[in-house]
Chain A
Amino acid sequence: MNEITILQNGRIIDPANKVDTRGDLWLRDGRIVAPESSVPAGARCIDLQGKWVVPGLIDMHVHLREPGEEYKETIASGTLAAAAGGFTAVACMPNTRPVNDTAAVTRFILEQAAHAAARVYPVGAISKGSTGTGLAEYGELKAAGVVAVTDDGQPVVDSQLMRRAMEYAASHGLLVISHSEEISLSRNGVMNEGLMSIRLGLRGIPVAAESIMVYRELALAELTGHHVHIAHVSTGAATDLIRQAKKRGVRVTAETAPHYFTLTEEAVAGYNTNAKMNPPLRTEADRQAIRIGLQDGTFDAIATDHAPHSVLEKEVEFDRAANGIIGLETSLPLTLALVRDGVIDARRLVELMSTAPARILGVDGGSLAVGDAADVTIIDPGRKFSLTEAGIVSRSKNTPFLGWQLQGKAVLTFLGGRITYDDRVV
């Protein structure tokens, strides 16, 4: 094989290598190569005038539902949705059925992912069965291919177990990801506690349910000296705690999701189950605080918490509906809106959606240096489209952004030099 693709005239944004320039990017045999003086015969040249050429996006927090809930999503369908959203890699959460708490499950996931449309980095469970008791076998999990551990979907209630998880994970070089929720405060809650929960007569989840647990994780990271990653931050209060902890040198990284910087609890109006997730959508003040956190570096990454559910879980009474929304295909457009709003610049977008997730997970990617795998996303920042059910690649359609007019999207995605998504206008 001697296949050369030349991505011409695009704006190459590669913060890992301090590059933001107009030029050409050469891909050969699945890798990025140095440009040559002349275009070889048979090379595929793609003109990318007006487009951005960025390292393949990485979503460090998705639920692919396989094994166990294949009617919602599979590794195949989820990675196709990822490619359509401009992602070349995803980290999949362990709350499948069975839970990914053993090497056998990890190996199954990686086998299913072998020919998928994106790289799949499995995340293992913190505790056996994610039941909050006893550590999973991190050494075995790591050897089988997991890149991090979490009991995502629920918190680790026992503080001693969380401390041990941080210590033991560090011994095996694994990242610990915290789903930060003080369950005794949030139990039975179905949306943010506030104006809307009163109006709708729905049981609220207070801000303190998140901030209390974020504080515990920060305190444990400080105690143990190990790294903790805080998942899906939804509140200004937690953002402040993380900012302060970073200032005093605590080893913490954090992610937020596009819905938290785009929507507020108002989206729940009409008992919209597609606006139900955990943690819940908060207030406008929280939304603004999250945006500032993205701007000032408090947040390292944007992750979608892509959580597919079918109508079986969503077309029901609000308090019985499942938590979560899909996000892979809307993350980039919603983050591009932050760039248009002047909250972040294009370079920062690439950091948040590619460079930093790769660094935090300790995986390849997030860079367009010569020799790197040719995981490349081409973004058309001006392309407008409206989100329809028919247009969604994911097997599930549970998103509050249905019917939205969005601007900017991935138009071409390369995974190891192979095109996994192509939405160029001919």
Chain B
Amino acid sequence: MGTDVNNKEYRFQHKHLLEMGQLTAEDILYILSLARSFKEVSSRPIKKVPILRGKTIINFFFEPSTRTRLSFEVAAKRMSADTFNISASTSSSQKGETLIDTARNLEAMNPDIIILRHPSSGSPLLLTQHVNAAIINAGDGTHEHPSQGLLDLMTVMEHKGRIEGLTIAIIGDIAHSRVAHSDIVGFTCLGARVRVAGPATFMPSHIESLGAKVCATAAEAVAGVDVVMALRIQQERQHDPLIPSLREYARFYGVSRKLLELARKDVLVMHPGPINRGVEMNPDVADGTGSVILDQVANGVAIRMALLYLILGGDKGGEAS
């Protein structure tokens, strides 16, 4: 696990970032290391470096997003890139234009990177087949959200000093969570064990194939773990009732102080946000000791700075900072 920014041999080989599964352990460790060095920029009085001056980055968001979009935008601006935001409500998709056509039109403006958030799994890959710009997946359907996975890894690394050998419990709607998917792949890639828990309606068949261990109860999942991550519970779906009520869910799967007593004393509490307080997580847990939820947000900017830098070929010449 010695890959860091001082490793001069390392080369980031990916044109796009589509999924955690495309990254090797070496890639991930290098990204985390680079993000650590970028994090310092955000604490300067003048939070801006000229590394990506003249680069054009388009945030192309087909789903509502505050955190992720802002995080990418802040990351890009801190590196002096020009950023533009297009959301589903302002794009021509409202007028019936297809994803590919809209992307081709964006392409005509010569962006360097298109950051895509889209409700259809696989849509970032589809874009790569039709435009020349680099594509970063900022969440596609129920597939992946790799930059979120990376910032989760960075946060745990920051607090625990390692990933290998740790045990992570993820509790919630695993079946519909692209964050869970990216986290399971990323944490297991670096040698952690991942447990998942939730009512069976939240557990997709074959989830073990990604490397996760399915636990029957929240208590079983958090017993002795180093990290507990709660996922946001979507409101009940009309045609596909997954849970009878948020109230019942909170009682059996909500992360409480009492539940955390089963974990290691130094357990980290995480949440990809936005939190339904009192549903998947009690307020005293979200705001209490061990909660690193706001660190996740801060690290999100650093991770995205590192990704933009690497994807724009930053590692092929010059220093990161």
A residues with a Cβ closer than 8 A to B are 187-188, 193-195, 197-204, 270-271, 315-320
Contacts and interface: CB of A to CB of B under 8 A. Distances in A.
A199 B209 contact: yes
B100 A201 contact: no
Contacts of A197: 204, 206
Q: Which of B98, B122, B239 has the most CB of A within 10 A?
A: B122
Contacts of A320: 120
A198 B205 contact: yes
Contact of B100 (A194, A316, A319): A316
Contacts of B98: 316
Contacts of B143: 200-202
B178 interface: yes
Given A316-B99, A317-B99, A193 B122 contact: no
B121 A198 contact: no
**Chain B interface: which size bin?**
20 to 34
A188 B120 CA distance: 12
Contacts of B216: none
Contacts, number: 63
B200 interface: no
A199 B121 contact: no
A318 B210 CA distance: 21
Contacts of B181: 201
B125 interface: yes
B143 to A, nearest CB: 3
Which applies to chain B's interface (DSSP): helix, strand, loop or mixed? mixed
Most buried by B among A194, A198, A270, A315: A198
Interface in B17-72: 21
B239 A271 contact: no
Contact of A315 (B21, B100, B122, B178): B100
Given A201-B140, A201-B141, A319 B121 contact: yes
B120 A318 contact: yes
A217 to B, nearest CB: 24
A313 B14 CA distance: 30
B209 A319 contact: no
B16 to A, nearest CB: 13
B99 A203 contact: no
B320 interface: no
B148 interface: no
Given A201-B143, A270-B122, 17 more contacts: A188-B239, A194-B206, A195-B206, A195-B209, A199-B209, A201-B142, A201-B144, A201-B178, A202-B141, A202-B142, A316-B99, A316-B100, A316-B126, A317-B99, A317-B126, A319-B120, A319-B141
| A-B residue pairs, 10 tightest by C-beta | A201-B143, A271-B122, A317-B120, A201-B121, A201-B142, A198-B206, A317-B123, A318-B122, A319-B120, A195-B206
Contacts of A204: 204-205
Contacts of A315: 100
B118 interface: yes
